[in-house]
Amino acid sequence: MPDGADKKSKAAAASQAADVAAAPASASRLKGRLVIGSAVAVIAVLFGSREIYNRINFVHAEDSRIEADLITVSSRVAGWVTAMEITEGSPISKGQVMLNIDARESKLRLNELDAQVAGLGAERERLAAERRMVDAKTASQFLSEQSQLDAAQVTVSSLQPQLELAKREFERAKSLFERKVASRRQLDQAENAHQQIEREHQIALAKLKAGKAMLTEAGAERTQLAVLDGEVTILTHRKAELLTQLEKQKLDLTDRTIRSPVTGVVDKTFVKIGEYVTPGQRLALVHDPAKIWIEANIKETQIRNLKIGQSVEVGVDAYPDAEFRGSVLTIGNATTSEFALLPSPNPSGNFTKITQRLPVRIAIDQQGGLLRPGMMVEIKIDIRNP
């Protein structure tokens, strides 16, 4: 019995000793858990506060990308590509030759038109010289005939009263002779005088008639001037038409040398030497790296907070360690769904409300050619200063 009691007391003492030894370990574990829990809570509060702060003071958008005016260089003429002066990715200056299209036929046509214009010019000069000669010749002849006609007219006009007077004298002498008052000699003299004046008058009338005919003939010869003037006018119009064709052909020849419309970089080429191109066909894509912007799609629920000029923090996926900044340039006036090629009407009456987005353009400066069209970016618009 005493031995059994001792064993029980020893076991109880050992158990108490174990409990006393385990108590500090449990307290230590509990303290560690409390510290960890407190740290997690603090971190959660910090992250939550930061998230709330960002939501209140910034507008975020991940669906954003860098944009630029990608210019499609195309041909205005048809022909074979004879030379390529560019490669994809190469820099290019405004006006620099990009490629050449076969210009042999165009040059021949230009030379042909030049020859035709020169020929028309020579023909026009010949007609002009002929006109001057005809004008000088017919003008002097016309003036001479006009002078003779005027002289004949004066002669007729001066003889007319003399003829009338001689006629009256003859009739008076005849009457006096019949009454035995005048002699035969006086009658003959009066008759001879009348006949002489009448002959002279008839001759003057004949000269007047001939003068009119000669003047009419001279005038008819001067009508040749009008014919020559008409031919010169026709040649003038024909030359103007040829000059227009000549300028058009010069433009065709110029268009066979394709030049860059901007200073920038070649993004892509679509043809090779020896290929046949047609008017309007794409030849290359170019853009100006200095003229870029960011196109972001912002939720309609956030658009009320945006203002032109607000500062924007930009993160570029390609350069995670680099910092870029920009500013709000424009805010769209219609949602992106309005520009969809295939609208989605809802005639069935079933409706699911979807938050729409509006395009917002953000200005950003190029930095060493790092920013390129199509790159994805994340933006954070500072709305604290409305």
In sequence order, what are the beta bridge partners of 380? 60, 313
Q: Which residue from 137, 134, 155 is spatially nearest to 211, judged by alpha carbons?
A: 155
DSSP state of 341: S
Which token pair is 306? 């945006």
Range of weakest confidence among 119-128, 134-143, 181-190: 134-143
Helix or strand (DSSP H, E) at 250: helix 184-255
pLDDT band at 129 (very low <50, low <70, confident <90, very high): confident
What's the alpha-carbon Rg for the chain, to the nearest Å? 57
According to the model, what pLDDT value does residue 312 have?
Answer: 94
Asked if residues 268 and 283 have their Cβ atoms less than 8 Å apart, the reply is no
Residues 227, 231, 236, CA angle at the centre, nearest 5°? 145
Give residue for tokens 């230009």. Answer: 110
According to the model, what pLDDT value does residue 1 have?
Answer: 46
What mean pLDDT value characterizes the chain?
81
Domains and CATH numbers, the chain: 72-101+257-286 (2.40.50.100), 104-255 (1.10.287.1490)
Please write the tens of the pLDDT for every residue from 162-218. 767 777 776 777 777 777 766 777 767 777 777 777 777 777 777 767 667 666 666
Task: Flag whether pLDDT at 281 surpasses 50.
Answer: yes
Tell me what the mean pLDDT of segment 219-232 comes to: 74
Which token pair is 82? 């004879």
Task: Flag whether pLDDT at 41 surpasses 90.
Answer: no
Tell me what the mean pLDDT of segment 235-258 comes to: 94
Q: Which residue from 261, 260, 262, 264 is spatially nearest to 369, judged by alpha carbons?
A: 264
Compare 260 and 156 and report the one with higher pLDDT: 260
Asked if residues 191 and 170 have their Cβ atoms less than 8 Å apart, the reply is yes
How many angstroms separate the CA atoms of 292 and 298, rounded? 19
In the sheet that holds 79-84, the strands lie side by side as 257-259, 97-101, 79-84, 276-277
- Non-local CB neighbours of 39 within 8 Å, separated by 6+ positions: none
Asked if residues 106 and 256 have their Cβ atoms less than 8 Å apart, the reply is yes
How many angstroms separate the CA atoms of 245 and 263, rounded? 32
